[in-house]
Amino acid sequence: MKANYLGIFLVILGISACQEQAPKKEKNIIPDAAQSERVGDALQSMPNPLEVCNFITELEKQNKIKPDYKYLFLTDPQDVDKYNTVFKKAINLGIYRTDLYYSNHHKKINDALGYLNSISTLQVQLLSSANLMQKRINSVQSTISSSTINLDSLLAVQSNLYFEDVRTLLRNQNRNEINAWIELGSWVEIAYLIALHYESATDRQLKERIAEQKIVLQNLMPVLELYKDKQGFDEIYQQVKKLSKLYEGINITYMPSASQSKLIDDKEMIFEEEGGSNPIEVSDITIREICKLISAIRAEATRGDGLKK
């Protein structure tokens, strides 16, 4: 079994580096500190694909929605060669990342391996980093040599690689727009998957989760604004801006947690009960319009750009 994993991941690692041109020397670029901090703060608030997968699974366990792996609606990892501009590579890296978590969460190992392969391909193309490539090889070989080898371990390696290495490298190279586009792609796919499950179940919690994406988008829009003039981004930026406008029709009011008092040693102590609530006011029509526009944004993001490499 280990030999099979090793064979698969030698391909994934691009020890298919035959596809990779001679690594470029990494430039010593001084990053824009203020912009990096602004982008970094916004990206920290982005939802994690695993959290959304767990949320959907919990609804399935509660019989609020039927267990349903939306394979026919996922992106095709073999389409990776359709993306030639930096923007399309970055946004689809994010989309593949979410689909990787989603397929692995449903224990679809072959699908997950396909996404892992495409993610690795795009990372190498975006970074052209020999150092990152070697680190990937060392990490995966170390994981494969473990007696407890499984896809979750390899997923953890890939996740750590992205958060610890890819994001840091891009920030140090003053290429914050790529980090923003990766997160945009990951979020678009998250919202798209939630919308798919909502359309087949119309569960109240799914409806609220779609509405809550307003907060995510509010944090992301100022960052996307910084890069609206970058090549290839304008059309999707305008669509996301339109989506943000749609979300203005949703009213979310944060209600702080209730407090209660107790007497302890003759002193009144105030305790905050765990968790607040976010009453949401939104019509079914608005939610349907949002779902439709999210689908359109995702369709445009996954369309090949038709440019030569």
Q: Is 63 left (phi over 0), alpha (psi -120 to 50) or beta?
A: left
- Give yes or no for residue 16 having a pLDDT over 50: no
Burial of 52 (0-12, 13-18, 19+ CB in 10 A): buried
281 pLDDT band, cuts 50/70/90, is confident
pLDDT digits 0-9 by tens, 36-58 = 777 777 777 788 888 998 999 88
pTM score, whole prediction:
0.78
Q: What value does the mean pLDDT of the chain take? A: 77
Whole-number pLDDT of residue 28: 43
pLDDT at site 266: 44
Q: Choose between 236 and 135: higher pLDDT.
A: 236
pLDDT single digits (tens) 106-159: 888 889 889 988 988 898 888 865 555 556 555 554 554 444 446 666 666 555
**pLDDT of res. 67:** 83
C-alpha 21/C-alpha 205 separation (Å) is: 48
Nearest alpha carbon to residue 236 among 305, 150, 167 = 305
State the average pLDDT over residues 273-278. Answer: 50
The predicted structure's pLDDT at residue 86: 94
Cα–Cα separations (whole angstroms), residue 162 to 59, 294, 301: 29, 25, 20
| Selected residue with higher pLDDT from 168 and 1 | 168
How far apart CA 160 and CA 93 sit, in angstroms, is: 15
Give 31 or 92, the one with higher predicted confidence: 92
Element (H, E) at 183: helix 176-201
DSSP state of 166: I
Phi, psi of 281 (to 5 degrees): -110, 115
pLDDT, tens digit, 9 for 90 and up, residues 182-207: 999 999 999 999 999 998 776 788 99
**279 pLDDT band (50/70/90 cuts)?**
confident
